[in-house]
Amino acid sequence: MKEQDKLKVGILFGGKSGEHEVSFCSASSIIKAMNREKYEVIPIGITKSGCWLSPEESCIALETGKIEGNDMIAWKSRPDENQLIILSRENNKTKYSFPDKLDVIFPVLHGPYGEDGTVQGLLELMDIPYVGSGVAASSVAMNKDLMKKIFQQADLPQANWMTIKRNRWNKDRKKILDEIKNQLKFPLFVKPTNLGSSVGISKVQQNQGLEHAINVAASYDRKVIIEEGVENVIEVECSVLGNDEPEVSMVGEIQPGGEYYDYDSKYMDKNTRLIIPARIPGNIVEEVQKISKLAYLAIDAAGLSRVDFFVQKRIDYYKVYLNEINTIPGFTRSSVYPKLWQKTGIDFSELIDRLIQLALERFRDKMSNKTDYPSRLLKK
């Protein structure tokens, strides 16, 4: 393939969230696996303060693990296309211009300002195709409160929960603690509404630890989810791939090294295991796969997602609880999402190819929309 025929693929990584470091690992794995005969790979790093780096600076950041910069991005419209540029904060002049047109962007930004619809909105305005869900689905999946309400509307099985806001918590702690104790049963999981990778999550067994757990979660976000813990559970996950007609992978079982699948278990504890296939009955596997697809369609996800579940094991039956959906799951070779597809028959490089093609397919569909309407007023 000629150089000019290669797809120009921007890999967005880093970002303004508590999952900044996790993003580095995913981006590095994707870049290494991409076929250079098909793609011109353009890494684009974003600092924790929201500054954008040139591809050259981004490569250095990936090599060193340090991402520093003080520049901002902007875009300028031409009659036939939009161009992404990096401006210097010092003099507002162009520091770097990306290729005339990036063919597609692969956002590998976990958490707020990357997985929550903000970057997706920028790319929509610029008419640049991108991998993954659109603005609405990304926002809903990141906001656990809205996500749970949509799943509830779709009649999908979930554990009992309630949501509190930081402003009210700071004003009336005693009343809120009483409400929680009256409405929910211990043990409880306390989570920030808008973070992933189990950042800021605590498991609370009794009253004494509840206030501290809410303080921790509220330090990360203005809304906090308090959810009943399901006892005697097997944690399982299913990967979804596609746009309007998604496919589902085999179901994997998470065996956490710690008490539950927290941040340390996901990224640091070598005793955490992924078991594929999950050790649950075949009819329960089918139920998990069915709910995965329904959850994906309920939020109008696109491209990829990983759907997480608790399967409660009773003496004579199993019960499935939908936990959450992640629209930009971890994407290293050892991450759950690609490993489940590998076991299902799609290897890492092919998975990247499929996701890029799905992004282009979705973009073509978007561009078929009309953007004007013959107003009656103009006919007068």
* pLDDT for the residue 355: 98
> Residue 3 corresponds to which tokens in the numbers above?
């150089």
The answer, yes or no, to whether residue 264 has pLDDT greater than 80, is no
Average pLDDT in the chain: 89
pTM: 0.89
- Taking alpha carbons only, the member of 277, 282, 275, 284 closest to residue 320 is 284
The side-by-side arrangement of strands in the sheet containing 188-192 is: 161-165, 223-228, 188-192, 202-204
Cβ pair 135, 120 in contact under 8 A: yes
CA dist 361 and 355 (Å) reads 10
> Residue 178 corresponds to which tokens in the numbers above?
């009483």
pLDDT 10s digits, 113-153: 889 999 999 999 888 999 999 999 999 999 999 999 999 99
Least confident of 84-88, 115-119, 193-197: 193-197
Q: Residues 285-305: what's their mean pLDDT?
A: 98
* pLDDT for the residue 141: 96
* pLDDT for the residue 112: 82
CA dist 103 and 10 (Å) reads 8
Domains of the chain listed by start with CATH number: 3-130 (3.40.50.20), 160-228 (3.30.1490.20), 233-365 (3.30.470.20)
CA dist 219 and 208 (Å) reads 19
CA dist 139 and 117 (Å) reads 5
- Taking alpha carbons only, the member of 105, 127, 3, 6 closest to residue 52 is 105
SS3 354: helix
The residue among 59 and 99 whose pLDDT is bigger is 59
Least confident of 100-104, 105-109, 286-290: 100-104
CA-angle at 35, arms to 30 and 36, nearest 5°: 110
Confidence of residue 94 (pLDDT cuts 50, 70, 90): confident
Confidence of residue 377 (pLDDT cuts 50, 70, 90): low
The residue among 310 and 272 whose pLDDT is bigger is 310
Q: Residues 320-345: what's their mean pLDDT?
A: 95
Cβ pair 106, 130 in contact under 8 A: yes
Q: Write phi, then psi, for 247 (nearest 5 degrees).
A: -105, 155
Confidence of residue 360 (pLDDT cuts 50, 70, 90): very high
Distances (CA, A) of 53 to 49, 104, 302: 12, 18, 27
* pLDDT for the residue 2: 62
Confidence of residue 17 (pLDDT cuts 50, 70, 90): confident
Query: How far, rounded to the nearest angstrom, does the alpha carbon of residue 252 sit from its chain's CA centroid?
Result: 18
CA dist 280 and 310 (Å) reads 11
Confidence of residue 21 (pLDDT cuts 50, 70, 90): confident
Please provide the DSSP assignment of 75-128 as one string: EEE-SS-EEEEEE-TTT--EEEE--S--SEEEEE--STTTSSSHHHHHHHHHT-
Q: Residues 5-27: what's their mean pLDDT?
A: 89
